[in-house]
Amino acid sequence: MKFTWFNLMPWPFLPDDFRQRHRSVWVDIPNTLYDPRRGHFVYHQYMDQLEYADRLGFDGIGVNEHHQNGYGLMPSPNLIAAGLARRTSRAAIAVIGNSIALYNPPIRVAEEFAMLDVISGGRLLAGFPVGTSMDTNYCYGQIPALTRDKYAEAHELIMRAWTEDEVFAFDGKYNQLRYVNCWPKPIQKPHPPIYIPGGGSIETWDFCLDHDYNYSYLSFGGYLRGRALLQGYWDRVAARGKDESPYRAAFAQIIAVADTDADAEKLYAEHILYFFNRCLHVYPGFADAPGYRTVKTIQSGALSQLTEDMQRVFTKLTWKDLVEGGYIIAGSPETVRQRMEEMIRGLRIGHVFCLFHNGNMPDEKTRHSTRLFAERVMPHLRDLWPEWKGDDRWWCKPMEERLRPEASLGGGTPS
């Protein structure tokens, strides 16, 4: 099993009446709610936490891309990843990822990811999301019905730029480049492992299987709701005749560990409810621009989308609902270990993107939960897939003799 410590980087100072006063945490969230001077401390605290996770032995540390979003302060995850690449030397740097349809030209992603791979000594996991409709269509103005076509073209360009040794001309529909010549190129050959975050479209499953990319299901619905979706993916894997290595799939999960179950609620409930109640307050008109999802995908799941008003569901959730409904995995180390095992086996996943920092959780509590997990949970979950031991097709392959610059930066060992 591989565990990646992930921080969405939420803005922790949304007002108590945020829901009542504002229609959305995303796209048109009032800019005045952001305070850059406080932001200075927020960024450093979040980056410190990622470095702390590296020192505790997490396999990866992860960042992602969102725009105009009150729970995701990384319009450019590559900037954060660059900082992490200098301050760590062990963990994989998981950038999940760059929304490649948004870069003009997308060769920029090939270049920046190559830079990250080189600086980190070959530790990059490269994510290529289509991007949510909020980010891609409403914030970045991409035409919904053409987004996937543009994505496919960007993917082709980037992979060719990484793998071809000759300068070539690229005559795309969205990008025309006379001289494609990726300088530098990544350390990992033929390219860093590719992660495709998806929301359950059949097209995305097939895309992952066509290229043997990792499929990452990222939602905040938790593992009970994730099960049906991942089952669809595994059915597709079987139908396509691919091997069933659990490392083909990753899942994101909110986790909170305390000394006892009761302590977990006492310590973390306030902050996790901040996340569900304020951070997920998204105006439904921004959720799904017409044309963004294919008709085929909608037909396979339209009714659940229509009948489930997630907004209302989230506002009514209590700590008990979150735990019992499997939205979060929280409690004592033993409780968390049991639930994690159930999740990992139930979903058949080899990678977990672990969300320990949630909403407005203070640094101290985040580290407490992270450390308990690293010391008292993670070691017991390492070998859940003995028959696939050593399957590192979706993991980074760093160079052995790489520099370890953090030693001179005073990174130290965990206290």
Partner 1 sequence: MNFRWIETARGAKVRVFEGGRGTPLLFLHGAGGLLAENPFLEQLAQRYHVLSPELPGYGESTGETLLEDMLDFALHGWDVAEALQLEKPHVVGHSMGGMIAAEMACLAPRDLGKLVLAAPLGLWIPAAPVPDLFALLPHEAAQVLFHEPARGTALLTGGLDFRNLEALRDFYIGNVKRLGMAGKILFPIPNRRLAKRLYRLRAETLLVVGRSDRLVPAAYVTRWQELIPRAQLAWLDAAGHMLPYEEPEAFVGAVSHFLG
Residue of the chain from 146, 167, 228, 407 that contacts partner 1 (CB under 8 A): 146
The distance of closest approach from Cβ of residue 298 to partner 1 in the complex, given in angstroms and rounded to an integer, is 6
Residue 412 binds partner 1, judged by CB under 8 A: no
If the CB atoms of residues 163 and 304 are measured against partner 1, the closer one turns out to be 304
If the CB atoms of residues 232 and 301 are measured against partner 1, the closer one turns out to be 301
If the CB atoms of residues 143 and 262 are measured against partner 1, the closer one turns out to be 143
Stretch that binds partner 1, among 85-93, 135-143, 186-194, 250-258 (CB under 8 A): 135-143
CB of 250 closer than 8 Å to CB of 350: yes
Residue 306 binds partner 1, judged by CB under 8 A: yes
If the CB atoms of residues 138 and 205 are measured against partner 1, the closer one turns out to be 138
Stretch that binds partner 1, among 83-91, 133-141, 271-279, 335-343 (CB under 8 A): 133-141
If the CB atoms of residues 31 and 307 are measured against partner 1, the closer one turns out to be 307
Q: How many CB atoms lie within 10 A of CB 324?
A: 10
CB of 232 closer than 8 Å to CB of 200: yes
> What is the chain's alpha carbon radius of gyration, rounded to the nearest angstrom?
20
Q: How far apart are CA 15 and CA 9, in angstroms?
A: 17
If the CB atoms of residues 146 and 238 are measured against partner 1, the closer one turns out to be 146
198 CB contacts (<8 Å, ≥6 apart)? 129, 130, 204, 205, 208, 215, 216, 217
If the CB atoms of residues 56 and 289 are measured against partner 1, the closer one turns out to be 289
The distance of closest approach from Cβ of residue 283 to partner 1 in the complex, given in angstroms and rounded to an integer, is 7
Q: How do beta strands 176-180 and 328-331 pair?
A: unpaired
Stretch that binds partner 1, among 143-151, 247-255, 313-321, 364-372 (CB under 8 A): 143-151
Burial of 202 (0-12, 13-18, 19+ CB in 10 A): middle
- Best CA proximity match to 159, nearest among 193, 123, 134: 193
Q: How do beta strands 168-171 and 328-331 pair?
A: unpaired
The distance of closest approach from Cβ of residue 325 to partner 1 in the complex, given in angstroms and rounded to an integer, is 24
Q: How far apart are CA 180 and CA 182, in angstroms?
A: 6
Q: Give the x/- contact pattern for partner 1 in 154-193, rule: CB under 8 A.
A: ----------------------------------------
The distance of closest approach from Cβ of residue 23 to partner 1 in the complex, given in angstroms and rounded to an integer, is 10
The distance of closest approach from Cβ of residue 153 to partner 1 in the complex, given in angstroms and rounded to an integer, is 13
> Which residues, 282 to 301, sit near partner 1 by CB under 8 A?
283-286, 289-293, 295, 298-299
Q: How do beta strands 176-180 and 194-198 pair?
A: unpaired
The distance of closest approach from Cβ of residue 300 to partner 1 in the complex, given in angstroms and rounded to an integer, is 11
The distance of closest approach from Cβ of residue 72 to partner 1 in the complex, given in angstroms and rounded to an integer, is 19
Residue 379 binds partner 1, judged by CB under 8 A: no
What does the block give as tokens for 378? 């993670």
> Which residues, 5 to 64, sit near partner 1 by CB under 8 A?
none
CB of 278 closer than 8 Å to CB of 359: yes
The distance of closest approach from Cβ of residue 170 to partner 1 in the complex, given in angstroms and rounded to an integer, is 19
> Which residues, 233 to 292, sit near partner 1 by CB under 8 A?
283-286, 289-292
Q: How many CB atoms lie within 10 A of CB 390?
A: 4
If the CB atoms of residues 163 and 299 are measured against partner 1, the closer one turns out to be 299
CB of 319 closer than 8 Å to CB of 265: yes
CB of 275 closer than 8 Å to CB of 359: yes
The distance of closest approach from Cβ of residue 142 to partner 1 in the complex, given in angstroms and rounded to an integer, is 8
The distance of closest approach from Cβ of residue 211 to partner 1 in the complex, given in angstroms and rounded to an integer, is 23
Q: How far apart are CA 168 and CA 179, in angstroms?
A: 6
Residue 307 binds partner 1, judged by CB under 8 A: yes
The distance of closest approach from Cβ of residue 13 to partner 1 in the complex, given in angstroms and rounded to an integer, is 26
If the CB atoms of residues 291 and 414 are measured against partner 1, the closer one turns out to be 291
Q: Site for partner 1 (CB under 8 A): how many residues?
A: 23
Q: Give the binding site for partner 1 (CB under 8 A).
A: 137-138, 141, 143-146, 283-286, 289-293, 295, 298-299, 302-303, 306-307
